[in-house]
């Protein structure tokens, strides 16, 4: 009985996280930090591959940093989770601003 309740609770949680209302869109300003044009292209490609991201607007760009507006459906947590699978980190600072960076490479495995 307890296992069944746990499974049902997990299924309900997963359904609520996966549900996206595409009629409601939001826009969040994000500071993207990158070391090279290749990194910048990787971040843009990752954003464009997120199904709930409907638009990416470059507001300002300078060497190593860009200010972008991300338009998305659903929640920013869903965007965060999808980007994490693509090795891109979207985090909010204590001050409330959002930043986007490539996730650091995994340390090499030692035999």
Q: Which residue has the higher pLDDT, 91 or 107?
A: 91
Q: Mind listing the pLDDT tens digit for each residue in 7-58?
A: 666 665 555 555 666 667 889 999 999 999 999 999 999 999 998 999 999 9
Residue 9 counted as domain residue: no
| Alpha-carbon 30 to chain mean position | 11
Q: Which residue has the higher pLDDT, 63 or 110?
A: 63
Predicted confidence at residue 15, as pLDDT, reads: 54
Q: How confident is the model at residue 103 (pLDDT cuts 50, 70, 90)?
A: confident
Task: Say how far apart CA 64 and CA 60 lie, in whole Å.
Answer: 11
Q: Which residue has the higher pLDDT, 1 or 13?
A: 1
Residue 4 counted as domain residue: no
- Residue 31, domain extent: 21-102
Predicted confidence at residue 59, as pLDDT, reads: 96
Q: Which residue has the higher pLDDT, 20 or 69?
A: 69
Task: Say how far apart CA 47 and CA 41 lie, in whole Å.
Answer: 10
Distance separating the N- and C-terminal Cα atoms of the chain: 44
Residue 58 counted as domain residue: yes
**104 and 89 in contact (C-beta within 8 Å)?**
no
Residue 1 counted as domain residue: no
Residue 109 counted as domain residue: no
Residue 63 counted as domain residue: yes
Residue 108 counted as domain residue: no
Q: Is the pLDDT of residue 87 over 80?
A: yes
Predicted confidence at residue 77, as pLDDT, reads: 87
Residue 42 counted as domain residue: yes
Task: Say how far apart CA 15 and CA 29 lie, in whole Å.
Answer: 28
Output the six-digit token pair for 17.
């996280």
CATH number at residue 76: 3.30.70
Structural domain count, the chain? 1
């Amino acid at each position: 009985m307890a296992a069944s309740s746990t499974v049902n609770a997990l299924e309900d949680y997963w359904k609520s996280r996966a549900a996206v209302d595409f009629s409601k869109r939001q826009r969040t300003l994000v500071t993207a930090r990158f070391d090279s044009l290749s990194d910048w292209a990787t971040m843009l490609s990752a954003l464009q591959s997120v199904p709930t991201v409907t638009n990416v607007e470059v507001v300002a760009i300078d060497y190593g940093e860009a200010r972008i507006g991300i338009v998305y459906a659903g929640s920013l947590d869903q965007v965060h989770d999808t980007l994490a699978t693509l090795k891109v980190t979207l985090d909010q600072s204590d001050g409330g601003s959002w930043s986007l960076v490539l996730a650091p490479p995994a340390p090499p495995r030692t035999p």
